[in-house]
């Protein structure tokens, strides 16, 4: 089954988005018959990947299409239940790979909500007008403020351990301790209790931020959302008449940027977008992703006029879609090779534009989206290689793909008959803090962890065209080859990689990519995801007598008590 990550509000089956001035409401009202897997019933606002694809789309659209929105209320459209979490029937039917990708994408969506709050001025409020269980509570925990109706029935819970033999898969454990600062013993007790925690205890244990009696519920939700909106630096709602095109300072009035469907063509051999080309090599078990650089830099006044066609935004959306497609629909293509074509100085011109107008709300959102796309690449379980060749435009923002790669190779000299000049690598200020990894460091800082002198040296060559010899001496690439050796050396590297165990490579890459400090994000993708990945393969969870298979049948699961 091919999974498509592209959608828009007119196609939503599970969410309703309504905007009223500075406050937007996202209402979860899951169509029980609208699951990805035939025969799966999404009861009690439980969700599968399709539900979360819509949520991810809504979170992105709110940032670009609704600059006036300063607070977002997430609530339920069903009585007495907020969200029952991931649908167990869907999980039981899903392959192991689908389970893991589902958890990864859902984690990325929750982190995008936190990113919107931390950097975009869009604060999120979870209004739990009913029980929130499992992934439903994890969604609430990604918000800035959690309100729980105090009706003696509604509770919050993470019941995966006692009910399903698995863990909360979207950061719930880490957010309890690291974000909500819950005591470890209370967290242990909470996660081992099927029925969850209600009312005053939920507040005292810091599981929620506010409890509200039913009689005051709607008024208090409205007041809290308005209070949160007042703390934001997002643009104000548009006056009448609206401002001239091009005005978009943070805190000023602004017009939203519509995100139309991507122009793409998917075939058996690859995917073609306007600015990204993906070619599948099935015998070689790899996909080559080529980024097509921009033709020219627009005038500063034209940034808003270009809208979704603004090259950094258009390219980021296409690259993101390509990565998600490869993750879910092409599991045997275990190697991603990044290439680029274009003028590096035009790419640097865009970097300068993004830096100069960083206080523009739209430019801020473009930079943040690029950062999230690069993070998605970081946690993609594929081997990443980048090839810097004559005609490449790995400069500034696009140079992040060099430092995200497990290995980067650079062509030295020129090819016979090729008049494009020698390959060059260009750095810009964006490589030193604009696009941070999950560990809170830039990719170039992570590369030179423990080598402050090396970092100082590369900062001195910002904007300079670096030859293959320069880049290798500075430690910016893995190796360089001339025309005599390039084709054979690259072929041997890729063939060797394809011959290794995919499982071992996934473990190797995930361990090596995230050097340096640990953060809530690295814990979620490293510690939690690794354990969940393992648990999802154990008979206690997915065996014929395991908890996932027997859930809802009336039969108790049979657990192997041996600790591994």
Q: 265-512: CATH homologous superfamily?
A: 2-enoyl-CoA Hydratase; Chain A, domain 1 (3.90.226.10)
| CB-based contacts of 380, cutoff 8 Å, min separation 6 | 323, 326, 327, 336
Quote the pLDDT of residue 240: 44
- pLDDT band of 238, cuts 50, 70, 90: low
Q: Give me the CATH topology for the region 11-229.
A: 2-enoyl-CoA Hydratase; Chain A, domain 1 (3.90.226)
Give per-residue pLDDT as tens, 336-350.
Answer: 999 999 999 999 999
| CB-based contacts of 204, cutoff 8 Å, min separation 6 | none
Give dist(CA 8, CA 212) in Å, integer.
34
488-493: list long-range contacts, CB under 8 Å, 24+ apart.
Answer: 489/409, 490/387, 490/409, 493/385, 493/407, 493/409
Name the one residue in this structure whose structure tokens are 């992703």.
Answer: 289
Q: What is the mean pLDDT of residues 415-428?
A: 92
Give dist(CA 519, CA 337) in Å, integer.
28
Give per-residue pLDDT as tens, 1-50.
Answer: 899 999 999 999 999 999 999 999 999 999 999 999 888 999 999 999 99
> Tokens at residue 7, please?
């959608």
DSSP string across 140-171 = HHTSSEEEEE-SSS-EEE--HHHHHSS--SSS
Q: What are the extents of the domains in the chain? A: 11-229, 265-512
Quote the pLDDT of residue 514: 86
What pTM does this model have? 0.95
> Tokens at residue 95, please?
């392959």
CA-based nearest residue to 202, from 146, 121, 285, 263: 146
Quote the pLDDT of residue 528: 83
Question: 237: helix, coil or strand?
Answer: coil
Query: Is residue 418's pLDDT more than 90?
Result: no
Task: Say how many C-beta atoms besides its own lie within 10 A of residue 394's C-beta.
Answer: 32
Quote the pLDDT of residue 242: 43
Give per-residue pLDDT as tens, 472-520.
Answer: 999 999 999 999 999 999 999 999 999 999 999 999 999 999 899 999 9
Quote the pLDDT of residue 252: 56
Q: What is the C-alpha end-to-end distance of the chain, expressed in Å?
A: 34
Name the one residue in this structure whose structure tokens are 């499992």.
Answer: 134
Say if residue 138 is preceded by a cis peptide, omega within 30 of 0: no
- pLDDT band of 180, cuts 50, 70, 90: very high
Give dist(CA 349, CA 345) in Å, integer.
6
Range from 207-211, 235-239, 412-416, 520-524 that averages highest in pLDDT: 207-211
Give per-residue pLDDT as tens, 436-465.
Answer: 999 999 999 999 999 999 999 999 999 899
- Give strand pairing partners of 281: 286
Cα distances from 347 to residues 11, 48, 291, 426, in angstroms, run: 35, 39, 11, 10
Cα distances from 319 to residues 252, 505, 510, in angstroms, run: 31, 23, 21
Q: 49-65 vs 361-378: helix axis angle to the nearest 10?
A: 150
- pLDDT band of 237, cuts 50, 70, 90: low
Query: Is residue 527's pLDDT more than 90?
Result: no
Q: 361-378 vs 344-356: helix axis angle to the nearest 10?
A: 120
Give dist(CA 157, CA 208) in Å, integer.
11
Quote the pLDDT of residue 495: 98
Q: Report the C-alpha dihedral over residues 42, 48, 54, 58, rounded to 10 degrees.
A: 100
Q: Report the C-alpha dihedral over residues 65, 69, 73, 76, rounded to 10 degrees.
A: -30
Helix (H), strand (E), coil (C) string for 37-85: CCCCCCHHHCECHHHHHHHHHHHHHHHHHCCCCCEEEEEECCCEEEECC
Query: Is residue 193's pLDDT more than 70?
Result: yes
Question: How would you list the strands of the sheet with 71-76, edge to edge?
Answer: 15-20, 23-28, 71-76, 123-128, 145-149, 210-212
- pLDDT band of 564, cuts 50, 70, 90: confident
Query: Is residue 532's pLDDT more than 90?
Result: no
- pLDDT band of 250, cuts 50, 70, 90: low
| CB-based contacts of 386, cutoff 8 Å, min separation 6 | 337, 338, 339, 394, 401, 402, 404, 405, 407, 408, 409
Give dist(CA 101, CA 104) in Å, integer.
5
Average pLDDT, whole number, for the chain? 94
Q: Do 529 and 381 touch, CB atoms closer than 8 A?
A: no
Give dist(CA 199, CA 180) in Å, integer.
17
Query: For the chain, what percent of residues have pLDDT higher than 90?
Result: 88
Give dist(CA 513, CA 437) in Å, integer.
10
Q: Is the dihedral of CA 124, 368, 180, 46 positive or negative?
A: positive
Name the one residue in this structure whose structure tokens are 């990113």.
Answer: 115
Q: 344-356 vs 311-329: helix axis angle to the nearest 10?
A: 110
Are β-strands 197-198 and 210-212 bridged in parallel, bridged antiparallel, or unpaired?
Answer: unpaired
């Amino acid at each position: 089954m091919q999974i498509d990550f592209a959608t828009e509000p007119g196609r939503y089956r599970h969410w309703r988005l309504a905007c009223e001035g500075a406050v937007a409401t996202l209402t979860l009202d899951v169509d029980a018959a609208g699951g990805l897997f035939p025969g799966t019933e999404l009861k009690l606002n439980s969700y599968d990947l399709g539900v979360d694809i819509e949520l991810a789309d809504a979170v992105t659209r709110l940032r670009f299409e609704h600059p006036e929105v300063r607070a977002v209320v997430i609530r339920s459209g069903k009585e007495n239940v907020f969200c029952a979490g991931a649908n167990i029937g869907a999980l039981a039917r899903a392959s192991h790979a689908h389970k893991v990708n589902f958890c990864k994408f859902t984690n990325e969506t929750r982190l995008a909500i936190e990113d919107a709050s931390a950097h975009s001025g869009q604060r999120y409020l979870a209004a739990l007008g009913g029980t929130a269980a499992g992934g439903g509570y994890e969604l609430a925990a990604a918000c800035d403020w959690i309100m729980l109706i105090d009706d003696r029935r509604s509770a919050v819970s993470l019941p995966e351990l006692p009910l399903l033999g698995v863990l909360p898969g979207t950061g719930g454990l880490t957010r309890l301790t690291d974000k909500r600062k819950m005591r470890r013993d209370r967290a242990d007790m909470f996660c081992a209790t099927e029925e969850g925690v209600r009312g005053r205890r939920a507040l005292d244990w810091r599981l929620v931020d506010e409890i509200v009696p039913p009689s005051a519920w709607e008024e208090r939700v409205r007041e809290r959302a308005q209070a949160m909106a007042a703390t934001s630096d997002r643009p104000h709602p548009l006056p009448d008449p609206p401002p001239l095109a091009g005005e978009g300072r943070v805190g000023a009035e602004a017009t939203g940027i519509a995100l139309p469907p991507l122009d793409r063509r998917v075939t058996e051999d690859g995917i073609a977008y306007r600015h990204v080309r993906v070619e599948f090599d099935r015998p070689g078990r790899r996909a080559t992703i080529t980024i097509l650089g921009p033709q020219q830099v627009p005038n500063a006044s034209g940034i808003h006029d270009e809208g979704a066609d603004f090259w950094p935004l258009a390219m980021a959306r296409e690259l993101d879609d390509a990565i998600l497609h490869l993750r879910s629909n092409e599991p045997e293509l275990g190697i991603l090779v990044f290439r680029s074509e274009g003028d590096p100085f035009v790419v640097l011109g865009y970097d300068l534009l993004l830096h100069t107008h960083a206080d523009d709300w739209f430019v801020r959102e473009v930079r943040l989206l690029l950062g999230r796309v690069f993070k998605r690449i970081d946690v993609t379980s594929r081997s990443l290689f980048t090839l810097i060749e004559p005609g490449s435009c790995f400069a500034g923002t696009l140079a992040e793909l060099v430092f995200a790669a497990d290995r980067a190779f650079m062509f030295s000299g020129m090819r016979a008959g090729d008049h494009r000049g020698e390959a060059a690598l260009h750095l810009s200020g964006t490589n030193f803090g604009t696009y941070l990894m999950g560990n809170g460091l830039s990719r170039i800082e992570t590369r030179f962890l423990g080598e402050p002198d090396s970092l100082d040296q590369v900062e001195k060559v910002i904007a300079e065209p670096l030859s293959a010899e320069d880049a290798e001496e500075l430690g910016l690439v893995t190796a360089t080859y001339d025309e005599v050796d390039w084709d054979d050396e690259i072929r041997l590297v890729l063939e060797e990689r394809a011959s290794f165990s995919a499982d071992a490579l996934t473990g190797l890459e995930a361990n090596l990519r995230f050097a340096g400090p640990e953060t809530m994000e690295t814990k979620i993708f490293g510690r939690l995801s690794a354990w969940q990945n393992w648990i999802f393969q154990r008979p206690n969870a997915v065996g014929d007598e395991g908890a996932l298979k027997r859930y809802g049948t009336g039969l108790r699961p049979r657990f192997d008590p041996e600790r591994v």
